[in-house]
Amino acid sequence: AKPASGRAGAAFAAAQTKLGSPYVYGATGPSSFDCSGLTSWAYAQAGVGIPRTSQAQANAGTRIYSQSDLQIGDLVIFYGDQHHVGLYAGNGQVLHAPRTGTVVRYESIGNMPFQFGVRV
């Protein structure tokens, strides 16, 4: 992956500190998160305000349709209804809060239907 921009890199670094935190629907941190709660919290640590929901985050920047153009820290939107979001982690991996009963973790980008990335 290409190196992260300053704020995307800072957001990604913040999210990495939350690996293992529990997924809780509607949670926005700092001890538990849902998918868009994690991404909005991470960007807030980088001093960047982005919307709260994955659907709104899908419109929060420049869309990137080729996975090969993704940079670390870019938002990655999944599913046709855009209901899931994570942070690109490089090497085909996403850092995200998957679903109830899981924790913040890395996962292959191919495990979910990729729609596009968003560079904030």
Active site members: 35, 84, 96
Q: Is the dihedral of CA 69, 80, 113, 17 positive or negative?
A: positive
| Cα dist from 93 to 67, 99, 100, 107, whole Å | 11, 17, 20, 5
Stretch (H or E) spanning 15: helix 6-16
Classified as helix, coil or strand, 55 is helix
